[in-house]
Amino acid sequence: MSRTIHLALHPYGVGGPGQHGLWKDPRVAKNASIDIDYYIRLAQAAEHALFDALFIVDSQFINATYPAHYLNRLEPLTLLSAVATHTRHIGLVGTASSTYNSPFNLARRFASLDHISGGRAGWNVVTSFDTGTSRNFGLDEHLDYTTRYGRALEFVQVARGLWDSYEDDAFPADVARNVFLDPAKLHELHHVGEHFKVAGPLNLSRSPQGQPVIFQAGVSEEGRDLAAQVAEGIYAPGGTLQQAQEYYTDIKKRTAAYGRDPDHIKIFIHGGPVVAATDEAARRREREIFEEDNDFDRNLALLGRSFGAYDFSVHDLDGPFPDVAHLAEKSGRTGAAKLIEQARAENLTLRQVAANANQFRQSPFVGAPQTVADTIEQWFDAGTFDGINLAFRTEDELDYFIDGVVPILQKRGLFRTEYASDTLRGNLGLPIPANRHAPERQLVND
């Protein structure tokens, strides 16, 4: 079977980082980020177009400078559970922190979503970017990188162990024999590790896809290594074609080095297509979008997010970039390091760093439908992604992509013309994980 492209949808709501002006667009409802009907409409449109998944991001810390969508939005698993009852095929991927949750509760919540949706749940594992989150959970400081990623690895291992609490045929529900549960097929976990001590079992059976699909978005060395060990889907940064190729190759090599099949990890790059009737019209619209969002005060505040929500406005904008590297050690270390390196190498002022961080950068996926489809095919053939995580500013722009670009991809055999499965795993071409206790039982029986 030839490779085909996977598509996911990432709703913007009223506008997150880099879409500071979106809430002002008259086509965007001012309550979009808390309107469940908005998400249901998007999910149904994406499902009608045969997309693989709806992806919901999250964070658990804000201050007044954060983007509009961050200030007032629904909790992902609650949101996706509602969407699940209005859809049948599209995957439902929610972001949840391994730093600020407990394995038992989170494993149960995702397993519940998996059952509610009939096997369409996915968990985007994050370690929490915002250092201020710690204060919302009774901690004085955010955990360091090493601890957060060590905890994340163990967290996923514990969750997977809990999802295997019941073997697939643990519930005969045989009235004649008065047997609802076969107790031999219920397994306690008895996990004792560096970060967690969890007895189990989980009080929920396995879903039609066995376990929720694990996603991750690692960019740092720790993140890439975690992804290579546990992820089945990755949200990659994208960048230039060469950068996307390098990331794709690196993750696939790391995955193989851990003894995993590289085809069992699907890499989604970020894509914000701008599609119009002509290439020229699309490029004009792309530039207009940049100008709509180019608010210096907001950009300066967003710059601070990589440094633990630091307030850069207290400094002279035309003075040297402040020495704040230590503030990024537990926050956005990878992105912050690039900013600091450039500031030092080019002797940039704070104003210049903030401006450079938000320079106009042309997206590759901009143009008439044919042009956008051509570029997607070129990038796909060049080994840069398995799928694209698509973000559109308005519902009209999503519809334009669905009506204009998707049929071209389908005609070229690059995108499905019908769903292969009712589960997220099935549509991504991922195997159902065998219950870890079933092989043991087979050995005993043999």
Q: What is the pLDDT of residue 260?
A: 97
Residue ranges of the binding site: 58, 95, 149, 220
Q: What is the pLDDT of residue 82?
A: 98
Least confident stretch, 21-30, 302-311, 418-427: 302-311
Residue ranges of the binding site for FMN: 58, 95, 149, 220
Q: What is the pLDDT of residue 155?
A: 98
Task: Give the whole-angstrom CA distance, residue 172 versus residue 420.
Answer: 29
Task: Give the whole-angstrom CA distance, residue 219 versus residue 227.
Answer: 9
For 379-433, write each residue's pLDDT tens digit: 999 999 999 999 999 999 999 999 999 999 999 999 999 999 999 999 999 999 9
How would residue 110 be classed by pLDDT, with cut points 50, 70 and 90?
A: very high
Q: What is the pLDDT of residue 438?
A: 85
Average pLDDT over residues 153-177: 97
Q: String of b and e for 77-97 (b: at least 16 CB within 10 Å)?
A: bebbbbbbeebebbbbbbbbb
User: Where are the chain's structural domains?
Assistant: 6-165+195-279+362-439, 295-356
pLDDT mean across residues, the chain:
93
Q: What is the pLDDT of residue 430?
A: 97
Q: What is the pLDDT of residue 441?
A: 59
Average pLDDT over residues 125-131: 87
SS3 track for the chain: CCCCCEEEECCCCCCCCCCCCHHHCCCCCCCHHHCHHHHHHHHHHHHHCCCCEEEECCCCCCCCCCCHHHHCCCCHHHHHHHHHCCCCCCEEEEEEECCCCCHHHHHHHHHHHHHHCCCCEEEEEECCCCHHHHHHHCCCCCCCHHHHHHHHHHHHHHHHHHHCCECCCCCCCECCCCECCCHHHECCCCEECCCCEECCCCCCCCCCCCCCEEEECCCCHHHHHHHHHHCCEEEECCCCHHHHHHHHHHHHHHHHHCCCCHHHCEEEEEECCEECCCHHHHHHHHHHHHHHHCCHHHHHHHHHHCCCCCCHHHCCCCCECCCCHHHHCCCCHHHHHHHHHHHHHHCCEHHHHHHHCCCCCCCCCEECHHHHHHHHHHHHHCCCCCEEEECCCCHHHHHHHHHHCHHHHHHCCCCCCCCCCCCHHHHHCCCCCCCCHHHHHHHHHC
Percent of the chain with pLDDT over 90: 74
Ramachandran area for residue 434 (φ above 0: left; ψ -120 to 50: alpha; else beta):
beta
How would residue 336 be classed by pLDDT, with cut points 50, 70 and 90?
A: confident
Q: What is the pLDDT of residue 77?
A: 98
The answer on pLDDT for 326 being more than 90 is: no
Tell me the pairing of strands 233-236 and 213-216: parallel
Match 């050995």 to its residue by tokens.
Answer: 443
How would residue 357 be classed by pLDDT, with cut points 50, 70 and 90?
A: confident
How would residue 444 be classed by pLDDT, with cut points 50, 70 and 90?
A: very low
> And the tokens for 408?
């071209």
Decide: 216 and 223 in contact? Cβ < 8 Å. Answer: yes
Handedness of CA 153, 159, 165, 166 (dihedral sign): negative
* Residue 257: partners with Cβ closer than 8 Å, 6 or more residues away: 228
The answer on pLDDT for 330 being more than 70 is: no
Structure-model confidence comparison of residues 201 and 336, the more confident one: 201
The answer on pLDDT for 33 being more than 80 is: yes
Average pLDDT over residues 136-154: 91
Q: What is the pLDDT of residue 446?
A: 44
Least confident stretch, 3-17, 132-146, 294-308: 294-308
Decide: 18 and 57 in contact? Cβ < 8 Å. Answer: no
Q: What is the pLDDT of residue 173?
A: 96
Class of domain 6-165+195-279+362-439: alpha beta
